[in-house]
Structure 1
Amino acid sequence: MVKKVQKTKTSNVSKDAKADVPTVLSLVDHDQLIMSDVQKEILKDEIDELPPIKEGELNVSGIYAYDLEDKLEVKAYIRNGYSKSIALKYIPFILLNSKGDKLAYQMFNLEELGEIPSGAARPVKLYFEKKNVYVDKIPLNGWKIAFDARLKALKKVKVSYQDLPVMDTNNRMVLESFLDELPDLNEGEFSISKFSIGLDTGGHILATIIMRNATSKPIKLEKMPVSIKDQNGNVVKSNIFELNNFVVNPLKAKMCNFVFPTNIRVQENISLDDWEILFKSEPLAKVPKNAQN
Structure 2
Amino acid sequence: MVKKKQQDKKNNGEGYVSTVLSLLDEEENVISDVQKEIFIDEIRELPPIKEGQLNVSGVYAYDMGDKVEVKVYVRNGLSTNLNLQKIPFLIVNSKGDTLASQTFNLASLGKLPPHSARPVKLYFDKKNFKVDKIPADDWKIVLNGEFNVTSKVRPRYEGLPEKISVEDKLVFDKFLDELPEMEEGEFSISTFSIGLQKNGNILVTTVMRNATNKPITISKMPMTVLDKNKRAVKSQNFIMKNFTVSPYRARLCNFAFPTDVHPENDQSLEGWSVIYKLVNINGGKNIKKL
- Show the counterpart of 2:206: 209
- Give 2:120's match in structure 1, choosing from 116, 124, 130: 124
Residue by residue, what CA displacement relative to the aligned partner does 1:19-64 show, whole Å, maximum 9, x if unpaired?
Answer: 895855x42222222x254xx7567546645642326465323455
Superposition deviation, residue 176 in structure 1: 4.4
What secondary structure, in the 3-state scheme, does the structure 2 residue paired with 1:161 have? coil
Aligned residues: 263
CA separation of 1:147 and 1:30: change in aligned 2, threshold 3 A: farther
CA contact (8 A) 2:102 2:128 kept: no
- Percent same amino acid at aligned positions? 28
1:78 pairs with 2:74: yes
Residue by residue, what CA displacement relative to the aligned partner does 1:53-94 show, whole Å, maximum 9, x if unpaired?
Answer: 326465323455999x9x998753223567x7x521245623
Q: Flag structure 1 segments of 5+ consecutive residues without an equivalent.
A: 285-291
What secondary structure, in the 3-state scheme, does the structure 1 residue paired with 2:26 have? helix
CA contact (8 A) 1:53 1:59 kept: no
1:197 pairs with 2:199: no
Pairing of 1:114-263 with structure 2 (within 5 A): 115=113, 118=115, 120-124=116-120, 136-138=127-129, 139=131, 140-141=133-134, 142=139, 144-146=141-143, 158-161=156-159, 169=163, 171=164, 176-178=169-171, 180-181=173-174, 182-183=176-177, 189-213=186-210, 215-231=212-228, 234-237=230-233, 239-245=235-241, 247-251=243-247, 253-262=250-259
RMSD of aligned Cα (Å) = 4.9
- Show the counterpart of 1:95: 89
Which range is displaced more, 72-81 or 271-280? 72-81
Q: Flag structure 2 segments of 5+ consecutive residues without an equivalent.
A: 282-288
- Show the counterpart of 1:289: none
Tell me the TM-score normalised to structure 2 length. 0.62
1:61 pairs with 2:57: yes
Separation of aligned partners in 1, 2:3 and 2:87: 17
Superposition deviation, residue 126 in structure 1: 6.4
What secondary structure, in the 3-state scheme, does the structure 2 residue paired with 1:89 have? strand
Separation of aligned partners in 1, 2:14 and 2:201: 61
CA separation of 1:125 and 1:155: change in aligned 2, threshold 3 A: farther
CA separation of 1:266 and 1:4: change in aligned 2, threshold 3 A: farther
CA separation of 1:100 and 1:280: change in aligned 2, threshold 3 A: farther
Q: Which amino acid aligns with 2:90?
A: L
CA separation of 1:153 and 1:281: change in aligned 2, threshold 3 A: same
CA contact (8 A) 2:57 2:73 kept: yes
